[in-house]
Structure 1
Amino acid sequence: MNLFQLKNSLTTVGAELKRVEEEIAATAADPKIDIKNLENLETQKINLKKRFDILKDQHDSLEKEQQEEIKARASQNGSNQVKGMSSPDPKQRKIAAKAELYRATMRGREVSQEAIAQLGGVKGFLGDNSESGGEKLLPTTMTSELLHEPFVKNPLRGHSTFTNEINLEVPKISFQLDDDGFIADGDTAKELSSSGDVVKFGRHKFKIFAPLSETVLRGSDTNLVQTVDQALESGLAAKERKVAFTTEPKTGEEHMSFYKAGLKEVPGATKLAAIKAAIADLHEDFRNNAKVAITYADYMEILEALANGNASFYNAQPEQILGKPAIFCDSAVQPIVGDFTYSHFNYDLPVTYERDKNVRTGIEDFVLTAYIDHQIKLKSAFRIAKVVTPTP
């Protein structure tokens, strides 16, 4: 148990002990109640008192150990964390504050108000989790950095829409005219008629684990922060890419996958022919802003077939080869053609953090919990380019 859990257990057992003592007093004062009831209560009191004393010894011992650890660290490094948060450099103050949050979380200590303030503050705590000691909200500036800064490892960043709103609802199209028949694309009109003109985002919970060794925890603030931040950023990017391109989504997450959401497939004898046919099949409103999500291997295969020994083809831009800009993603097992502004990721509810011990390795994890949904706002804005071998 960490210190937080021990405090909770002490409170619970202490309250029960007090209740039994009050019941003993009431029972003893009532001569009508059988003496055996009083004896049973006395036995309960003895057992509870033993439990309380054991928990209190563990609590006091752990609290003393942590206080000594804090003092020892402060004397060894000259209170580097305090110095870091009082640095005139805002970047160094933020690094020091992040490092304190990570260390405090992993050791079951409270995070100082100074560190929380440096990170933008939080609005409060989410519920209570007896297993983790309570899930805390991630400070606001950290949430913003993790969710909204572009990550190289997620190729859809910078192309799809990303938001962090609770109970988000958005219109499928960004404008309307007073003429009900203004939608020229028949597929879009049918889609709006069958599924409505508003998209409602749901909540799909997932966790990211950043393993931390004692060496990293005791190391420099900069190394600790880089280690955790990179793990969390990579985890978020990997989750976004996985839900969007998986061919085997979890139950209830089918709508998040381009391949399982019911997008129209456009056939072609080759990948390039299928891609060009898919581009042509889009309505011009979507075609003007269309891009092609494709694996780099597929693109090179197309390039080699076109080049046929002509090295000049390798200097051409993907847009010149495919007809539209390319988004290279190894998860795009079949090319996706469309206007990716209609691909919308939303993170619902505040991001939370806690710690968890990996019993297999003995290394503890800094754990981030988030809630994601990916909505393809208009299916008619996308096509899947599918290679179909002609029938002989």
Structure 2
Amino acid sequence: MAKTLIEMQAAVREYGALAAKRQEEYVATLEKIESTPEEVKAAESARDAMKQKFEALSKEVKAKEDALRASDLNSEKKHGQSDREKAIDGFADLVRGVVSNNRTAKLEEFKNATLAPTTAPVGPTDDTHNGAWALPTNVSTDFIATPLAPNPLVDAAAHSAMVNLEIPRVDISFGDAFAGVQDGDTAKEIELKGSQVKFGRVKSKVFVGLSETVLAGTNLALTQFVYSRLQDGILKLEANRAFATTPRAGEEHMSLYDKSNAIKVVTAADKYSAIVAALADFEDEYADNLSIFMSRTDWFAIQKSLANGNTSFYLQTPQQVFGVPVHLTSKAVKPVVGDFSQYHVNYDPTTALFEQDKDVKTGIVSFVATTWVDAQVKLASAFRIADVVAAPPAG
């Protein structure tokens, strides 16, 4: 299946980080007095191979971006002011109205101004879901390439935008396949927690600081600046809550690490063994949808341990090593393995507000988005936390 532009851009960032890592390892090898010519050559080869892959993929991404821009320009020349231009102008005008006149705007006003559909996606099967329901979706899909700091949870978790959402735990999770898990941990959890997952509302605010230069700039520049930072902030809130080790009061249930969710911890003497043991610990119904969220620090440590001096191993991707998709994020302080479609984020589409706030100390005016959201672990049995426990001393 062909990769989307956003997926290719994410891969470029990952390749860039790996290329930088290979460069550091090459320099470290050169600086080691005891390094052999073979070790230096192998480190150089690993660095050059990663650099070549990074540059080649970067070239492909740039070509795709240029083609997309050219397509937009040709369309606009043929049809005058396009829907894209109208969306940009509508978004920019409302931002200036909120900031300059200290007014409050509701989400519907933004959606109408930017020609976005007012009907929210119905659930995780909707192909248009992107996790940022509090924002006009067509602004994102038409001309914003990607958030500043992509949140991998967006594609892995389920998202929806419904008021007073309740999900039938059994039907959504397994349907007819539930008969196959009647005696397992999933069935026991459903019996204990009940058949419905109910979503509440937690207030969330994202602030975008605006200078006079940005406000006085072009509509395109203003829209790109505000939208990308709003989306970046909203998606960061999702990830911060999902992987919070000390969640804020009232947000405990959103954290995969919090004891209230009772997610099983699988331990071993090292991170690699713990992750493999966690993968093997699931019921069959989850096997095809498993993925891993882990930090780059953990991955580099595993990579170094498994390589055992074989530099060619550094060309292996995390997915090739574990056999399932792997998402690298610094927020995952302990690796979490599971079917992340069982982690569900729901936005209330009727109560989002956009308003102005000024810091009198700095003079900076902020454009503020207030949203109401909740996230629920639908089935704790769909997740495992991989942790390290030191082996007991001999004797």
Q: TM-score, normalised by structure 2?
A: 0.68
Partner residue, 1:344:
344
State which of 158, 164, 179 in structure 2 corresponds to 1:161: 158
Three-state SS of the structure 2 residue aligned to 1:158 is helix
Three-state SS of the structure 1 residue aligned to 2:228 is helix
Q: TM-score, normalised by structure 1?
A: 0.68
What displacement does 1:182 show? 4.1
Number of residue-to-residue matches in the alignment: 289
CA distance in 1, matches of 2:264, 2:242: 16
Are 1:189 and 2:187 counterparts?
A: yes
Per-residue Cα deviation, 1:92-125 (whole angstroms, up to 9, x for no partner):
12111111111111111779x99874423899xx
Amino acid at match of 2:336: I
Partner residue, 1:227:
225
Cα RMSD (Å):
2.8
Which moves more between the two structures, 152-161 or 272-281? 152-161
What displacement does 1:322 show? 2.2
CA distance in 1, matches of 2:305, 2:316: 14
Per-residue Cα deviation, 1:279-327 (whole angstroms, up to 9, x for no partner):
1111111122111110011111101111112122112231231232201
Give yes or no for contact 2:114–2:138 (8 Å, CA) kept in 1. Answer: no
Amino acid at match of 2:94: L
Partner residue, 2:101:
108
CA distance in 1, matches of 2:320, 2:277: 16
CA distance in 2, matches of 1:88, 1:146: 16
Partner residue, 2:278:
278
Give yes or no for contact 1:294–1:333 (8 Å, CA) kept in 2. Answer: yes
Partner residue, 2:356:
355
CA 216–159 in structure 1, closer or farther in 2 if over 3 Å, else same: same
Partner residue, 1:172:
169
What displacement does 1:349 show? 3.8
CA distance in 2, matches of 1:273, 1:263: 18
Give yes or no for contact 2:152–2:327 (8 Å, CA) kept in 1. Answer: yes
CA distance in 2, matches of 1:244, 1:145: 26
CA 144–121 in structure 1, closer or farther in 2 if over 3 Å, else same: closer
Give yes or no for contact 2:163–2:349 (8 Å, CA) kept in 1. Answer: yes
Three-state SS of the structure 2 residue aligned to 1:251 is coil
For the pair shown, the structure with the greater C-alpha radius of gyration is 1
CA 145–258 in structure 1, closer or farther in 2 if over 3 Å, else same: farther
Per-residue Cα deviation, 1:187-238 (whole angstroms, up to 9, x for no partner):
1111001101211111000111111112211111111111111210111011
Per-residue Cα deviation, 1:149-173 (whole angstroms, up to 9, x for no partner):
9755211111111111111111223
CA distance in 2, matches of 1:114, 1:377: 33
Any residues of structure 2 matched to 1:1-392 within 5 Å, and which? Answer: 88-108=81-101, 117-120=112-115, 142-145=135-138, 151=147, 153-173=150-170, 174=172, 175-177=174-176, 182-184=180-182, 186-260=184-258, 261-350=261-350, 351-392=352-393
Identity, % of aligned pairs? 39
What displacement does 1:141 show? 9.6
Please, which runs of 5 or more residues in structure 1 have no aligned partner? 1-85, 124-139
Give yes or no for contact 1:163–1:345 (8 Å, CA) kept in 2. Answer: yes
